[in-house]
Every structure is written in C-alpha cells, then in structure tokens.
Amino acid sequence: MVVRNKVRLVAQGFCQKEGIDYEETFAPVARLEAIRILLAFAASKGFKLQQMDVKSAFLNGFIEEEVYVRQPPGFESARFLDRVYKLRKALYGLKQAPRAWYARLKSFLLKSVDKTLFLLSCGGDTLIVQIYVDDIIFGGSSHALVSSFAEQMSREFEMSLLDELQFFLGLQIKQGLEGTFVHQAKYTRDILKKFNMGDSKPITTPMSTNTALDADEDGEALDQKEFRGMIGSLLYLTATRPDIQFAVCLCARYQASPRTSHRQAVKRIFRYLKFTPELGLWYFSGSSLSLKGFSDADHAGCRIDRKSTSGTCQLLGTSLISWSSCKHASVALSTTEVEYVAAASCCS
C-alpha cells in the first residue's frame, strides 16, 4: 500500500570544484559513546528523553559560495528559459549541504559541550540536546523547559515530533522509573534470519576459552563478501553488546582471506546471539556520575605476529558507556609494557 509519494530535487554535487563551489564540507556526527553518555546521564538525573526529526534538514542551511543550478525539468520559466538559479540555501546533493545544516542548527542552539551535544541551564533547571544529522534527542529537569525548546524548534524549522525516545540509530530504548534499558533485540533477530542462523542451536558463550584462530592457509577459502557482511553486521551489534566485542574483533582480523575455521567461529557468535537476543545495557536511575576506567591485556597472544590484545571499559557511575578490544600496533617486550599500553588506551 502506498502511503504517500515523495520527490526530491538533488543538485549535481559531483560537478562541484573545490575552492570554487565549496570550501569545507566536514560536519560532525555524534559518536555512539556520546549517545550512551547522554542516555546514562539522563537516566541518572531522571530525565525523560524525547525525540524529534527535522523535515528536509539540508534545505535549511545557508551557503556562502556562489552556486548556480539549471532550472528543474518541468518547472522552467517560459519567459526566462536561458536563465539559471542562484542558490541562497543548500540543496541535497551539494557537498557543503551537511556542514551548512550543522552550522545553522548550531547557531540556533546554545552552549556546546561536545560538537553534537548542547546544554542549557536556566534558573536551576537543565536542558540537554543531542543531535545526529537531522535527528534530535532532548530532555531536561523541567517539563516547561523541554516544551519551550520543542516549541522554539518548531517555529524555526519544520519538525516531526516523535514523542518519547524509543528507537534511535537501530537502538531500542526503554525508559522507566528505575532506569533506561538499551538493546538491539530486533536487529539481532533480523541478522540471525539474514544469515540463516535463526534455527541454529543456541550456545551459552560467544567463543570457547581455548579458541586460537590463525591464518589457516590450508583451510578452504570462503567468499569474502559474505564473511565481511557477517562481520559488519556483528560489529554494529557491539553498540549495545560488549559481551561479543572480543570475539567479533578477533574474527574480523581474517576478512581479507577468510577460511572455514573463521566462519565456524563467526557462526558460534550467532549461536550465542540465538541464546541471548534480549541482552543489552542497563542505566540505573540515581546512579553516580563518577568516571571509572578498567583495562587488561594478554602478552603476545596473536599466533601470527606475537602482538598483544588489550581490552578496556569505561563506566559513568555504574553505567557502561564505552569499551574496546584491539590488537596492539607493535610487539611488546614484557607484560609490564603491555599493561601500560592498555592503560594508556583506556585513558585516551
């Protein structure tokens, strides 16, 4: 069933020349860590987060360069067929469109902490706003302040108010009195179905404790495209599943030349997901906001180049907001050196 028809005028940005038609094009995008920090902070303070979307966001940005476009087919002026339009605002397709939109939105918002995170303090009340291109998450200690912000945004831009935050960037978010639960259960079931693992036998761990993957040059070669698709899907799932971070990153090292043994390791991760599709992150209400970090590492754990692997995690109070598992860039000469490298990575 067709709900509505939609058409969009797109500029031919591939014809633009740097230094003439545009200068800077970079526009910051919120990291997943920043989003998790916001969720943990809001849960701690008891803020009820809401979400809204800016309609045709890139059309709101002003551009400084002189850019001309032909009259759109079917909308030419009968009197001025040989004329072109000079753009005052950005169009979809222009290289500077994302940056122009970010500049417009940033100028409207107030005090910037992160490039995509904004805070407003007013009479003892706090409003916090997180932007991700045209999606906006916001909440605060005062309902009046939150409502006022939503009204101001609606007056400045054409908005779609989506009410309470429940789904963002593939993350399912459930807010309650005791805290906030963030998970990717729907995404987990989708990728199990996509890679024909929906009927697989569940298992209780993502990887055996004695697993030691190597290049396996004598093993049967696999299709890179399929293997990389599986790894890419699992990597996005690590946005809320730190329990599979190490296993996924270990398997990801062999994307250039995957073998049967590597696929078996990946399939075990999927079998574990079959057993635990509902796992996620829990952010408690009233939790402290003290920042803590932990790190650990093996020594010469890689069987190919003898490099070490370290793992780190950072918590805001009791809320896990960031984690990593990565192989070191150089070979460590001692366990002490390995631990120093891991600790430095944890603090950076």
What was the pLDDT predicted at 28? 87
* 87 shares its domain with 126: yes
pLDDT digits (tens, 9 = 90+) for 285-328: 988 999 999 999 999 988 889 999 999 999 999 999 999 999 99
**In-domain check, residue 178:** no
Question: How far apart are alpha carbons 152 and 160 in whole angstroms?
Answer: 13
Q: In 3D, which of 152, 75, 77, 69 has the Cα closest to residue 110?
A: 152
Residue 112 in this model has a pLDDT that exceeds 60:
no
Task: Report helix angle 224-237 to 260-275, nearest 10.
Answer: 30
**Distance, CA of 138 to CA of 147 (rounded, Å):** 10
Query: Which distant-in-sequence residues (6+ apart) come within 8 Å of 21 by Cβ?
Result: 65, 67, 95
Q: Which domain holds residue 255?
A: 183-280
Q: How far apart are CA 41 and CA 285, in angstroms?
A: 9
Q: What is the mean pLDDT of the chain?
A: 91
What was the pLDDT predicted at 73?
A: 86
Any domain includes 4: no
Least confident span in 55-64, 110-119, 270-279: 110-119
Based on the structure, what is the number of domains in the chain?
A: 3
Buried b (16+ CB within 10 A) or exposed e, 8-32: eeebebeebeeeebbeeeebbebee
* pTM for the predicted model, two decimal places: 0.87
Do residues 235 and 306 both lie within one domain? no
Q: Which of 121-130, 224-233, 288-297, 324-333 has the lowest mean pLDDT?
A: 121-130
pLDDT of 199 > 60? The answer is: yes
Mean pLDDT, range 73-87, rounded to an integer? 88
Residues 231 and 102 in one domain: no
Integer angstrom CA distances of residue 169 from 36, 83, 131: 12, 42, 12
Give me the pLDDT at residue 113, please: 58
* pLDDT value of residue 195: 95
Model confidence at 78: pLDDT above 90: no
- 208 inside domain: yes
Residues 121 and 225 placed together within one structural domain of the fold:
no
